[in-house]
């Protein structure tokens, strides 16, 4: 079946039952509106706030805390002893509410992407109906409508051109091309033609930059090219980030331990109580639940991510989804758009050649001959010099002419006042069929200078000398082989002008070439090299031509000897299975569609890679949403791209992405430290509670009450843990391989360290409790309150000192206070605060509320000694790790 661009104008008019002279009738337009629906996008349903809140309550750790809070509240009501009975349940409920609020407020999505797409539609369009032209709401356009377009219009729907005059349309948002696409209603196309080469079609949301046209609407709403992008945005679901997956695993581990412990505890309790359920069992269950769940985990992770986001904001990267900061640390493939990200998105003259001389780059010193040639080129331009909204000078016009005028002004040519010496008296405008334009100026010395610029094969200069022509062709091809857009200038001097100005376009003399390209960003090459050193592969995905993309990729170092270029047409011929086999051989994907971009991103993801995707256009939005981290351009990006992305580059620099990757790796390191820190603290508390329950027959009670555990988890774990957000990782972090998608927090031997430290923590807490419960010291009789106070201090203080241990696999003696002063200050304050709480227990009312008692001097000494033991064991373990790694390195070198 023929595509619309393959059909003739007559075929389409007949197919839609309409004539070019009268258009649709109002009645027919109304009936088609009923059939096809409005020319608008389907809205994506937004998730209600209550649904988001309920989704957070599904988390197992939250459920455990909820059960504990309800049980605690029930116990408080049954055994009411005043308002202080509500302290425990209220604290637990407060922790739950705080975590849910954090989760909901930090949740980000691309819900605004479709609304931004809607803003690309024209506010009004001109349509021919019942034989007369009138203005119409674009939403009421239907297939078969005849629309009229002029310079400055936004195309309201996809349409096949019926008539066009010097028409050029900016399709960069759809294709990624920097230069407006030249359109021709008479173009006859066959076969599978890329979107950017469909010269007889115009597409919804694109801007008419020159000329005018009449076209017949072929698709509206979700059937347009931009509508298909809207559908991709709706259907593309964002996956969980690697961080969310890892934290889910941690939550499951903790929850599994808690559930298993609760079952064991319940069975043991029933056996010990002869099968009778008692209130003591409920108290133990509450205590175990509080001990199991690291209440501050979500809070501290959010703080670490927020700290990372602030650092990135200072480096011109705006984070829209907090988790994406850490995800960047796992990035192993960056799929980058070419235009505006790797290049300047500004056409620039790169090379100039005047016949009879050597070609020179734009930054060379120009002699009189080259300056005269550049001045003539500028005279052949129609661009104007104006001001932008900020009052800065801005050259307004076609990108090619803008590049020429920019170079002329940089070389000292007074472009604005050229007309004072060379009065323009005539012009033959550029058209897509002619591919050239002519300017005629009056010379100060008399006569007229005819200047014609355009495509080399169209300009009518003298081609009789085959040797000269061969030289010109060779130079043209050398420019073109470097993906430069070659503009030819020729001219002549005449004494009089003919009535038909086009007659001057004959017998011209060849003057020279300029080569124009959208050049690479100065910092991009170094950033790509840095990414490569970090084990990150850079892929270029663009809607531009393969030759242009390849030249830029080679200059930036993206393409090496073993990698090639593939076009969207070639890609579509490959099955998913075959594509998966060969994907690693291609680093440049040219002339691709939005569907191709999603396919490329997903293909890399299926290989286990973490993919970051950059882009600025509407055509990039679906892939930005599908990628693990979508990165939009802040300066030149469309609102659609920004809405679909998780990060926005405010400076549009590729190098900023690499800075973000380094920060992401640092964040992963800090969260890993946090998990190590909290797991040891919380699981050791579970072991303590379980062991005490098994020993209940020997007169043991609960070593730690629920209130004590909450104080420890919030103050002893939470406050020092927050200071981990300020930690800075090893400077060599960007010389390591990317963090694998499935890499666990516990890799690299960390699980063994966690198990060892967990048991050491549990042993010293149980030892403190045993001493307080069974050993008389300094004339003070052992009591359950003293035992619990000692256990409380040892558990809290060891947790605080533990944060110093988790900072690095190196010994704590190699770190200085200045490395992270906030960490040391928070540790000191919390040590004093927990010690102060125990000291205040000497006051009867305070001791009763806190369920503690005063300690003797000897008991304080025992607490200090036991508190230092886990740190000593950890330092001993680090020492042996260092010895083993050094011996392994020596063996490897040998």
- Which tens digits make up the pLDDT trace of 546-584? 888 888 898 899 987 667 889 888 998 898 888 988 898
Q: Are strands 647-649 and 317-319 parallel, antiparallel or unpaired?
A: antiparallel
Mean pLDDT, the chain, integer: 83
SS3 of 39, please?
coil
pLDDT band at 229 (very low <50, low <70, confident <90, very high): confident
Contact of 674 with 300, CB cutoff 8 Å? yes
* Count of CB atoms situated within 10 Å of the CB of 657: 24
Q: Is the pLDDT at 747 greater than 80, yes or no?
A: no
What pLDDT is recorded for position 282? 66
Q: Is 635 helix (H, G, I), strand (E, B) or coil?
A: coil
712, 544, 677, 645: which is closest to 195 by C-alpha? Answer: 544
Which residue's entry shows tokens 């691709």? 592
Count of C-beta atoms within a 10 Å radius of residue 891 = 8
* Distance between CA atoms of residues 610 and 626, nearest Å: 11
Q: Following CA atoms 238, 242, 248, 249 in sequence, which dihedral angle do they give, to the nearest 10 degrees?
A: 140
Do 120 and 153 contact (CB within 8 A), yes or no?
no
Give the pLDDT confidence score for residue 405 in this predicted structure. 94
Q: Does residue 394 or residue 74 have the better pLDDT? A: 394
Query: What is 532-583 written as a DSSP string?
Result: HHTT-EEEEE-SS-HHHHHHHHHHHT---TT-EEEEHHHHHTS-HHHHHHHG
- Catalytic amino acids? 337
Cα separation, 753 vs 125, in Å, equals: 69
What is the tens place of the pLDDT at every residue in 51-95? Answer: 767 766 666 666 766 776 776 677 667 666 666 566 666 766 776
CA-based nearest residue to 238, from 594, 618, 627: 627
Residue 845: partners with Cβ closer than 8 Å, 6 or more residues away: none
The Cα diameter of the chain in Å comes to: 124
**pLDDT recorded at residue 114:** 43
Range from 424-433, 438-447, 689-698, 849-858 carrying the lowest mean pLDDT: 689-698
3-state SS assignment for residue 151: coil
On the question of pLDDT at 176 being above 70, the answer is no
Q: What is the pLDDT of residues 798-828, one digit of tens each?
A: 999 999 888 877 788 777 778 888 888 999 9
Contacts of residue 14, Cβ cutoff 8 Å, sequence gap at least 6 = none
What is the 3 state secondary structure string of 336-353? EEHHHHHECCCCEEEEEE
Residue in 210, 161, 153 with CA at minimum distance from that of residue 189: 161
SS3 590: strand
- How confident is residue 725, by pLDDT bands cut at 50, 70 and 90? confident
How confident is the model at residue 593, as a pLDDT? 81
| Per-residue pLDDT tens digits for 629-666 | 999 888 877 777 887 888 888 888 888 888 888 888 88
3-state secondary structure of 116: helix
Instruction: List, for residues 756-815, the tens digit of each pLDDT value.
Output: 999 999 999 999 999 988 888 766 678 888 899 999 999 999 999 999 888 877 788 777
| 263, 285 Cβ separation under 8 angstroms | no
Find the mean pLDDT for residues 862-891: 84
């Amino acid at each position: 079946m023929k595509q619309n661009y393959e059909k003739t104008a007559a075929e389409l008019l007949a197919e839609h039952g309409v004539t070019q002279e009268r258009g649709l009738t109002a009645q027919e337009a109304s009936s088609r509106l009923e059939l096809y629906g409005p020319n608008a996008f389907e809205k994506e349903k937004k998730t209600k706030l209550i649904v988001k809140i309920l989704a957070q309550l599904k988390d197992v750790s939250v459920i455990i805390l909820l059960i504990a809070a309800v049980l605690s509240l029930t116990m408080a009501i049954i055994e009411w002893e005043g308002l202080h009975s509500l302290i425990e349940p209220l604290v637990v409920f407060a922790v739950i509410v705080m975590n849910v609020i954090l989760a909901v407020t930090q949740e980000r999505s691309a819900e605004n992407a479709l609304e931004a797409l809607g803003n690309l539609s024209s506010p009004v369009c001109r349509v021919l109906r019942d034989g007369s032209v009138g203005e119409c709401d674009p939403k009421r356009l239907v297939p078969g409508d005849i629309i009229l377009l002029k310079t400055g219009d936004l195309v309201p729907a996809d349409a096949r051109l019926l008539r066009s005059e010097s028409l050029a349309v900016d399709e960069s948002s759809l294709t990624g091309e920097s230069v407006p696409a030249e359109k021709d209603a008479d173009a006859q196309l066959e076969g599978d033609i890329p979107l950017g080469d469909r010269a007889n079609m115009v597409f919804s949301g694109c801007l008419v930059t020159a000329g005018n046209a009449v076209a017949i609407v072929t698709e509206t709403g979700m059937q347009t090219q931009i509508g298909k992008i809207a559908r991709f945005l709706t259907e593309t679901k964002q996956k969980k980030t690697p961080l969310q997956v890892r934290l889910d695993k941690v939550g499951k581990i903790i929850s599994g331990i808690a559930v298993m412990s609760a079952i064991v505890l319940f069975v043991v309790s029933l056996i010990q109580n002869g099968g009778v359920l008692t209130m003591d069992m409920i108290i133990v269950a509450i205590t175990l639940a509080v001990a199991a769940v690291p209440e501050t985990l979500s809070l501290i992770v959010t703080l670490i991510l927020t700290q990372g986001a602030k650092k990135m904001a200072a480096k011109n990267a705006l984070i829209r989804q907090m988790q994406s900061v850490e995800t960047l640390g796992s990035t192993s493939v960056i799929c980058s758009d070419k235009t505006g990200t790797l290049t300047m998105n500004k056409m620039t003259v790169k090379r100039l050649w005047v016949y009879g001389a050597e070609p020179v780059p734009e930054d060379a010193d120009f002699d009189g001959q080259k300056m005269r040639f550049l001045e003539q080129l500028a005279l052949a331009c129609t661009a104007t010099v104006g001001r932008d909204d900020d009052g800065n000078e801005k050259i307004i016009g076609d990108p090619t002419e803008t590049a020429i005028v920019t170079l002329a002004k940089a070389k000292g040519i007074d472009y604005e006042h050229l007309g004072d010496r060379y009065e323009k008296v005539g012009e033959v405008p550029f058209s897509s069929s002619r591919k050239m334009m002519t300017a005629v100026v009056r010379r100060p010395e008399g006569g007229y200078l005819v200047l014609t610029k355009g495509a080399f094969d169209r300009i009518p200069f003298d081609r009789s000398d085959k040797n000269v022509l061969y030289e010109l062709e060779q130079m043209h091809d050398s420019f073109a082989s470097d993906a430069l857009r070659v503009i030819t200038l020729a001219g002549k001097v005449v004494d009089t002008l003919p009535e038909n100005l086009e007659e001057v376009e004959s017998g011209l003399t060849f003057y020279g070439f300029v080569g124009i390209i959208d050049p690479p960003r100065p910092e991009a090459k170094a950033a790509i090299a840095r990414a490569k050193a970090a084990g990150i592969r850079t892929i270029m995905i663009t809607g531009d031509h393969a030759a242009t993309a390849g030249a830029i990729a080679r200059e930036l170092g993206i393409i090496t000897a073993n990698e090639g270029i593939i076009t969207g047409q070639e890609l579509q011929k490959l099955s998913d299975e075959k594509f998966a086999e060969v994907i690693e051989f291609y680093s440049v994907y040219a002339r691709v569609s939005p569907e191709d971009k999603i396919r490329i991103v997903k293909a890399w993801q299926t290989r286990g890679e973490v993919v970051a995707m950059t882009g600025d256009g509407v055509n990039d939005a679906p892939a930005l949403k599908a990628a693990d981290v979508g990165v939009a351009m802040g300066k030149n990006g469309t609102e659609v791209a920004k809405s679909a992305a998780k990060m926005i580059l405010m400076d549009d620099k590729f190098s900023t992405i690499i800075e973000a990757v380094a920060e992401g790796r640092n964040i992963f390191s800090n969260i890993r430290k946090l998990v190590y820190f909290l797991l040891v603290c919380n699981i050791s508390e579970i072991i303590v509670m379980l062991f005490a329950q098994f020993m209940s027959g020997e007169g043991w009670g609960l070593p730690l009450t629920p209130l004590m555990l909450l104080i420890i988890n919030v103050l002893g774990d939470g406050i020092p843990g927050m200071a981990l957000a300020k930690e800075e990782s090893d400077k060599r972090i960007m010389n390591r391989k990317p963090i694998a998608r499935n890499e666990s927090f516990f890799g690299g031997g960390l699980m063994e360290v966690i198990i060892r430290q967990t048991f050491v923590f549990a042993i010293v807490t149980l030892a403190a409790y045993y001493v307080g419960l069974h050993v008389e010291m300094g004339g003070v009789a052992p009591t359950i309150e003293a035992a619990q106070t000692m256990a409380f201090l040892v558990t809290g203080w060891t947790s605080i000192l533990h944060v110093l241990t988790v900072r690095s696999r190196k010994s704590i003696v190699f770190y200085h206070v200045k490395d992270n002063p906030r960490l040391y200050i928070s540790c000191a304050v919390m040590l004093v605060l927990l010690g102060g709480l125990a000291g205040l227990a000497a006051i009867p009312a305070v001791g009763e509320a806190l369920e503690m008692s005063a300690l003797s001097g000897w008991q304080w000494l025992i607490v200090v000694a036991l508190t230092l033991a886990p740190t000593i064991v950890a330092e001993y373990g680090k020492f042996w790790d260092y010895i083993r790694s050094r011996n392994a390195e020596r063996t490897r070198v040998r």
